[in-house]
Amino acid sequence: MPEPRVRFADALPATADVVVIGGGVVGCATAFFAARAGLRVLVLERHAALGTLTTAASTGAFRLQFDNPEEIATVREGVELFDDFAERTGLDGWDLGLRHGGYLFCSLTDAMVERSSRLVERQRTWGLTDVELLGGDAARERWPWLSPDVRGARYRAGDGWLDAKRLTAGYATAASNPDGIPGVAAG
């Protein structure tokens, strides 16, 4: 898989439909979706590589365990895109380092256990039916390294993480046309 590189242009194009400032994951995703919509895209990046600022520091973690249905729906759509990234972008075999390893939230007080219980009830009414609610002993049985102070936990196996730099590189590569996009080019 070629890593995208920044192509320094001798001159900027006279026009562009969309100018994206920054070659991180958000900028490259914006460039991809704009290019896919048939727009002429210009990505402006001041560094010699993509994804070198906040993207490089990202854990790449994703979860659906939120406290409102809008965030759950938004992240669910993103995770579906990550799951089918190679197909949706036309990048056969592109590896995002995607892992559905789960997210575990531990409660250390009875009040936290009660809040988690109420949250999971609401999440289920919003269609997030695969969050497990566990007591402290059940959580420690499953994850023996947990502190004896853990009184409860909630867990969703479908949550996980990916490599944010690979995601950025994938978007940049998929956004590039054969002539390259000034500011973003695969190569």
Q: Name the pTM for this structure.
A: 0.86
- The tens-digit pLDDT sequence of the chain (187 residues) is 556 555 666 777 889 999 999 999 999 999 999 999 999 998 988 888 899 999 999 999 999 999 999 999 999 999 999 999 999 999 999 999 999 999 999 999 999 999 999 999 999 999 999 999 999 999 999 999 999 999 999 999 999 999 999 999 999 999 885 544 445 544 4
E-strand ranges in the chain read 4-5, 18-21, 41-44, 61-62, 103-107, 132-135, 152-156, 160-161, 185-186
Long-range contacts of 115-118, Cβ-Cβ distance < 8 Å, separation of 24 or more: 116/152, 116/153, 116/154, 117/152
Give the Cα separation of 109 and 136 in Å (integer).
Answer: 10
Q: How far is it, in rounded angstroms, from Cα 74 to Cα 78?
A: 6
